[in-house]
Amino acid sequence: MRFSFSRHSASFLLLAASLLLGACDRQQEGGQLSSAAPTSAFKNTDVTGLDYAKDFAMPDHNGTLRTLADFKGKAVVVFFGYTQCPDVCPSTMAEMASVMQQLGSQADKVQVLFITVDPERDTAALLSKYVPAFHPSFLGLVGDKAATQKIAKDFKVFYQKVPGKEAGSYTMDHTAGSYVFDPQGRIRLFVRHGQGAEPIVHDLKLLLS
């Protein structure tokens, strides 16, 4: 897969150098960018101080316009995917459901957001059935094509339509990792896909402590 991100800052160059991009069924991951302390208590990638991925404004599957300010006091996990994704998306959402279970009472202080990169097919009605099926508190966010392009650019997230074998069919290549904001609304972590729930639970507890 050709790397297609633009270069906006030195920190992003470090992140871009370690991104592995591929088809949805070939896992895409993000990596280290921070040049802060050489060691971190986090098990996932510490991206504290990023100069992008600062906020968003997009309707949820209930039609309510959402921004980070709506979730002040909670850790927010942001994942970009689509409902017809065959593996990375459902496995990520199932993993986050397991995280919520393991957090116990602290799960009330975590908000998971699923932002679709396929607004052509992922309507609010579809997201309202798909996303909460993993956990009732999870929210799906969907905008039009322009809004999707803007939020993906703001978060340096890659996505691209890949034509299928049948006319009109397609899949979406996309970045598979998730961003995590702390309860004060600051970007703190990039979570790679497929690590299991334990490292995420560990890091969320640190952010919530």
Output the known binding site for Cu cation: 85, 89, 174
198 is written with which tokens?
């334990």
Looking at beta carbons, which pairs linking 2-10 to residues 24 or more positions away fall under 8 Å?
4/158, 4/160, 5/156, 5/158, 8/51, 8/52, 8/156, 9/51, 9/52
Nearest alpha carbon to residue 180 among 37, 35, 44, 9: 44
Burial of 40 (0-12, 13-18, 19+ CB in 10 A): middle
Distance CA 172, CA 194 (A): 18
157 is written with which tokens?
């997230």
Binding residues: 85, 89, 174
